[in-house]
Amino acid sequence: MQWELVVGLEVHAQLLTDTKIFCGCSTSFGAPPNTHVCPVCLGLPGALPVLNRKVVDYAIKVGLATNCTVARMSRFARKNYFYPDLPKGYQISQFELPILEHGYLGVNDDSGSPKDIGITRIHMEEDAGKLVHPDIPGADYSHVDLNRACVPLLEIVSEPDIRSTGEALQYVKKLREILVYLGVCDGNMNEGSMRIDANISVRPMGQEEFGTRAEIKNVNSFKSLEQAIIYEQSRQIDLIEDGGKVVQETRLFDADRGITVGMRSKEEAHDYRYFPDPDLLPLVIEEEWIDAARDTLPELPDAKRSRFRSQYSLPDHDADLLCQSIDMADFFEEIVTLHNDPKAASNWIMGYVLRDMSRDELNSVKEAPITPTHIAGMLDLIKEGVISSKIAKDVFDEMWATGKEAKVIVEEKGLTQISDTSEIEGIVDDILAANPDEVASYRGGKTKLMGFFVGQVMKASRGKANPGLVNQLLKSKLEG
């Protein structure tokens, strides 16, 4: 039988506000345990939450960028459950009236046709704390770190519109890109800034009714998402084809083994007893607030890509890579402003900047030791014939290592290209004289040896000889 995969995703994104969602404590990562805390985020008796407006600002922006309707009135609700990392015994979230609903993101299905993945809702909530288990075998205690408690999150819930791993990956990548573009989330999946739960089911192709779904938790990278879907899809299909039934349950993705394991069944599922939080008033959002947020929206990834393709005549691949981050796109555009050769700028970024960023584990091109001015200066020198593209690669490495401008490096190291015919002619003559056998072979028809001669000349000139001139001279001496 042909089976169809059905996936809906819940993405938790940590917002980049300076302070927590319901108190003034810092959200910064990596502080000593329980130092970014106060009566509110500790959940002390008597303490009360006060909403951070910035969180609402960020939520509105995300809503506008994902085509959601911004609710004029939304409510916070308590999600009640016991866990040691949850200091109040409930999480403040939104339930019946979320701030955002009815959005979508465009992706391409596996045949390449565009389709929309619906976004059911996006709501604001507070994060829980973190349990720190001691690294002692048999320890009968754990520590609780509440620095993360009350850090703002958006939960972004998609419709079950996803039909393949490809669509799932595109959806999450697009979502991540938008969040990072908006500057509301760092998108850092391995630090937990974005966490994914996947609702996965299968159904016979053509059947309208959904199959029973499993909710997969702890999917925390693109690779995990792909693995989790593939594993879960085949687990469910095998189960059904063997005469079994998929049960509604929560499963945990085990990234080390690439499999999902049962966590709790529907019967054991929590009854969260949601109800409106009486400590927080209904959140009323006036049109002006939405307008103000709209005014600060940056150009979004899809729009930027399409502009890059048309304005700079870049291939899809280039536009895609350059627009993956707003910093990189800006970096590119600054180079082009200084040296108007978009394709050359793009090639250098894709070939070398991205390579070195990945080697040095940089998250943003803003952290790179070089600026658009460096690259543009180097491109100027190539265009003027001062250096060859080959030398330019060394210059690039030197720029990256020292932060010096291309021009300075070329001067200091004497890398200026030799374009003086008589100087090159001398070298050419020396090489031909030193390799009489090869000269004879060439003249006997082994013209492939041209590469060998060029190489020898370039080596002798330490790469500085103008390659065009070398070719021209060799040809005339060998064939003339």
> Considering the rule CB under 8 A, would residue 80 count as an interface residue with other proteins?
yes
- Which residue in the set 278, 414, 445, 480 belongs to the binding site for other proteins (CB under 8 A)? 278
Binding window for other proteins (CB under 8 A); candidates: 111-119, 268-276, 358-366, 386-394: 268-276
- Which residue in the set 280, 350, 362, 418 belongs to the binding site for other proteins (CB under 8 A)? 280
d(CA 362, CA 380): 26
From residue 437, give the alpha-carbon distance in Å to each of 134, 424, 434, 441. 74, 21, 9, 6
> Considering the rule CB under 8 A, would residue 138 count as an interface residue with other proteins?
no
Per-residue contact track with other proteins, 141 to 180, x per CB under 8 A?
A: ---x------------------------------------
| Phi, psi of 459, rounded to the nearest 5 degrees | -65, -45
> Considering the rule CB under 8 A, would residue 95 count as an interface residue with other proteins?
no
DSSP letter at 26 equals B
> Considering the rule CB under 8 A, would residue 132 count as an interface residue with other proteins?
no
Binding window for other proteins (CB under 8 A); candidates: 37-45, 67-75, 155-163, 241-249: 37-45
d(CA 466, CA 344): 20
**Which residue's CB is nearer to other proteins, number 273 or number 475?**
273
- Which residue in the set 47, 252, 362, 418 belongs to the binding site for other proteins (CB under 8 A)? 47
> Considering the rule CB under 8 A, would residue 78 count as an interface residue with other proteins?
yes
Instruction: Find out whether 187 and 38 touch, Cβ atoms under 8 Å.
Output: no
- Which residue in the set 30, 45, 243, 444 belongs to the binding site for other proteins (CB under 8 A)? 45
**Which residue's CB is nearer to other proteins, number 84 or number 134?**
84
**Residue-level length of the chain:** 480
> Considering the rule CB under 8 A, would residue 48 count as an interface residue with other proteins?
yes
> Considering the rule CB under 8 A, would residue 275 count as an interface residue with other proteins?
yes
Instruction: Find out whether 383 and 417 touch, Cβ atoms under 8 Å.
Output: no
**What DSSP assignment string belongs to 242-284?**
TT--PPPEEEEEETTTTEEEEEEETTT------EE-TTS--EE
**Placement of tokens 């700079």 in the chain:** 312
Applying the rule CB under 8 A, the residues between 395 and 454 that interact with other proteins are none
- Which residue in the set 281, 284, 401, 434 belongs to the binding site for other proteins (CB under 8 A)? 281
Instruction: Find out whether 176 and 187 touch, Cβ atoms under 8 Å.
Output: yes
Binding window for other proteins (CB under 8 A); candidates: 238-246, 275-283, 340-348, 402-410: 275-283
**Which residue's CB is nearer to other proteins, number 24 or number 351?**
24
DSSP letter at 389 equals H
Instruction: Find out whether 66 and 104 touch, Cβ atoms under 8 Å.
Output: yes
**Which residue's CB is nearer to other proteins, number 50 or number 132?**
50
d(CA 198, CA 230): 12
Instruction: Find out whether 387 and 395 touch, Cβ atoms under 8 Å.
Output: yes
Binding footprint of other proteins on the chain (CB under 8 A): 39, 43-51, 78, 80, 82, 84, 87-90, 144, 271, 273-275, 278-281
